[in-house]
């Protein structure tokens, strides 16, 4: 991301902050309109979840010029989201809901340049989360050499219940 895009994101997010609770409610309403199957993934109070969302976005916005410092937290978030049942295709829906919410909150201030800056930032962060989730999933898979040893016929009697 270039500094001008980071500046656009920060200025536009500052404009959304005064209506953060409303923006979060708009976001979740739009998200569940776009994909109602996502609703069961959110078990906690959506008002509390919305505050957490806005806090997470604030951290990301403030860290866009220090990506090396926020990437570990973004990766951890991706791993946690995978554990909640978030799949790769959900990221596009979340991105669409986020951009729509920003458009509603910013009105005419949501220029093509602002849209592009937010799209770039979201794509970067979402891709980082997805890669971390995929890596975690690979690490949870049994290694082939271990699976081969367990499936060897000589070990089968030892694995059978008595």
Among the listed ranges 10-19, 58-67, 78-87, 98-107, which one has the minimum average pLDDT value? 78-87
Distances in whole angstroms, Cα of residue 110 to Cα of each of 25, 104, 155? 19, 8, 64
**What is the structure's pLDDT at 83?**
83
**What is the structure's pLDDT at 85?**
83
For 24-48, what is the mean pLDDT? 93
**What is the structure's pLDDT at 137?**
82
Threshold 0.85, pTM exceeds: no
Confidence category of residue 29, pLDDT binned at 50, 70, 90: very high
Domains of the chain, start order: 3-159 (1.10.490.10)
Residue 63 has pLDDT above 50, yes or no: yes
Return mean pLDDT, the chain: 88
**What is the structure's pLDDT at 76?**
93
E strands along 95-162, which residues? Answer: none
**What is the structure's pLDDT at 145?**
59
Structure tokens at 6: 């980071």
For 19-28, what is the mean pLDDT? 96
pLDDT tens-digit readout, 132-156: 999 988 887 765 655 555 445 444 4
Cα 26-29-31 angle, rounded to 5 deg: 105
**What is the structure's pLDDT at 143?**
59
**What is the structure's pLDDT at 43?**
83
CA-to-CA distance for 136 and 75, rounded, in angstroms?
10
């Amino acid at each position: 991301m270039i500094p001008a895009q980071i500046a656009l994101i920060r200025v536009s997010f500052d404009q959304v902050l005064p209506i953060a609770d409303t923006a979060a409610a708009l976001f979740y309403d739009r998200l569940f309109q776009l994909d109602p199957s996502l609703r069961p993934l959110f078990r906690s109070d959506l008002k509390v979840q919305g505050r957490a969302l806005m806090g997470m976005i604030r951290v990301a916005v403030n860290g866009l010029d220090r990506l090396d410092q926020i990437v570990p937290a973004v990766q951890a978030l991706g791993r946690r989201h995978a554990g909640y049942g978030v799949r790769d295709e959900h990221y596009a829906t979340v991105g669409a809901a986020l951009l729509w919410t920003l458009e509603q909150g910013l009105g005419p201030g949501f220029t093509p340049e602002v849209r592009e800056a937010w799209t770039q930032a979201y794509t970067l962060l979402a891709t980082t989360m997805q890669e971390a989730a995929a890596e975690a999933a690979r690490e949870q898979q049994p290694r082939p050499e271990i699976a081969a040893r367990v499936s060897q016929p000589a070990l089968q009697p030892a694995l059978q219940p008595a």
